Copies of this chain bind each other. A is one copy, B any other.
Amino acid sequence: MVLMSPQIGVRPGGRSARVQQAVHDAVRELLAERERDELTVPLIAARAGVTPSTVYRRWGQLPDLYADVAVERLRPDTSPADLGSLEAELDTWAVQYLEEMASGPGRRMIADVLAGGLDNPRRCLCSTYSGDQIQVMLDRAVARGDDVPDRDTVLDRVVAPIVYRILFTDPAPEPGYATRLVADLLAVSPAKAGPPPERADRR
């Protein structure tokens, strides 16, 4: 088994692109209509109209193919809305992020990306996507004249706890958890100093 980095150096147009699109579509369709345990490479290949050996050569094992499809679906399609304040935007984004990731499909996508192995660079795209979204909001806040935390701090204080809870605890966190993380982060960041308010409702 040789290490491969599919989709990195793939030819952009023509047959290769068509095959990739067809296989991705086949995976999404079959994941929607059948149990995950019933999917096999030959089944996906048949739906996509290619031979199994093509899939094996380009993606290797099934988990790698899932990881590729998952990253594709994880890419955000819209920029966060301009709501006038950083806290409102971060809160809205974090709540939506939590709800999407804590859902069944979201959890499976995260697991798929990680199941692809820690040696493939695809998993880094997840934090890049989130970081880029956060940067948009931070830039807007700076343009308003606010004093804001930096991008990595938001990743540490908001995104990381959400993902950690989704991956390693039961039950999955609720939307209020994201709101609390954002509030705690911004409570001491700029002007307002002081210890965070005591909370009795932490799980």
Name A residues whose Cβ lies closer than 8 Å to a Cβ of B.
Answer: 1, 35, 37-38, 63, 107-108, 110-111, 114-115, 117-118, 121, 123-124, 126-127, 150, 152-153, 155-157, 159-161, 163-165, 167-170, 181, 188-190, 193-196, 202-203
Contacts and interface: CB of A to CB of B under 8 A. Distances in A.
A150 B115 contact: no
B127 A117 contact: no
Nearest to A159: B164
A1 B127 CA distance: 33
B108 A168 contact: no
How many monomers of this chain does the complex have? Answer: 2
Q: Which of A150, A155, A164, A165 has the most CB of B within 10 A?
A: A164
B202 A167 contact: no
A155 B150 contact: no
> Which 3 residue pairs across A and B have the least CB separation, nearest first?
A160-B164, A1-B37, A127-B168
Nearest to A117: B111
Contacts of A37: 1
A153 B201 CA distance: 12
A195 to B, nearest CB: 5
A167 B111 contact: no
B152 A202 contact: yes
